[in-house]
Amino acid sequence: MVGILAVQGAFAEHAQMLDRLGAAYTCIRQKRDLVGIERLILPGGESTTQRRLLCDLGLLVPIREMIASGMPVMGTCAGLILLADEVADEERCLGGLPVRVRRNAYGRQLGSFSVVGEIGSINDYPMRFIRAPYVETVLQPDVQVLNITDGRITAVQYKHILGLAFHPELTEDDRLHQYFLSFSA
């Protein structure tokens, strides 16, 4: 069963994508929703709000432990920020992904834009960025960089953790969700 963190942000769009792919999922809003979860999606939204809600709802520590024990997780945009081991000028949240990210990294003019590019071996993938972060530095050599756009790292994979600065749930293209569902749980 896939868990979609559903405390704030674009969780409904991930759910629609999983519906299309016929993957069973449940929305995570409280601790008991985590029972039976084998993989987790952390959606885009507002990472500071999500962080506060994770703490208030008692979800932070159990999710951190699940990720540390090897559960596959995909974080998109704000979700990438939650997963990063370091966040420039801020405290980290869940951690687990050895990268340093910078929030709202493209400035106001480039707050929202779309490009098409390669994500690892996936070609012609539409990437939609909305007040996106980017990965400033990878902190371990075995972090795989899956995409660089305009000289900035926007997609990484570290073992069972996929971190994306853009929003794969806001396009019609389901290949990244399929890729994530192929990770062994």
Rounded-to-integer distance, Cα 170 and Cα 50, Å? 19
- What string marks each residue from 70 to 109 as x (binds ligand GLN by CB under 6 A) or -? -------xx--x---------------------xx-----
Cβ neighbours of residue 41 under 8 Å, at least 6 residues apart? 2, 3, 4, 5, 11, 14, 25, 73, 74, 75, 76, 79, 180
Residue 77: active-site member: yes
- The mark string for 46-65 relative to ligand GLN (x by CB under 6 A, - otherwise) is xx------------------
Q: Of 28 and 105, which CB lies nearer to ligand GLN in the complex structure?
A: 105
Q: Which residues of 148-158 are buried (b: 16+ CB within 10 A; e: fewer)?
A: ebeebbbbbbb
Nearer to ligand GLN, 114 or 140 (CB): 114
Closest approach of ligand GLN to the CB of residue 141, in Å: 27
Crossing angle (nearest 10°) for helices 47-56 and 60-68: 100
Give the shortest CB-59-to-ligand GLN separation in angstroms.
Answer: 17
Contact with ligand GLN (CB under 6 A) among 29, 52, 100, 131: 131
Active site amino acids: 77, 167, 169
Catalog residues that contact ligand GLN under the rule CB under 6 A: 44-47, 77-78, 81, 103-104, 130-131
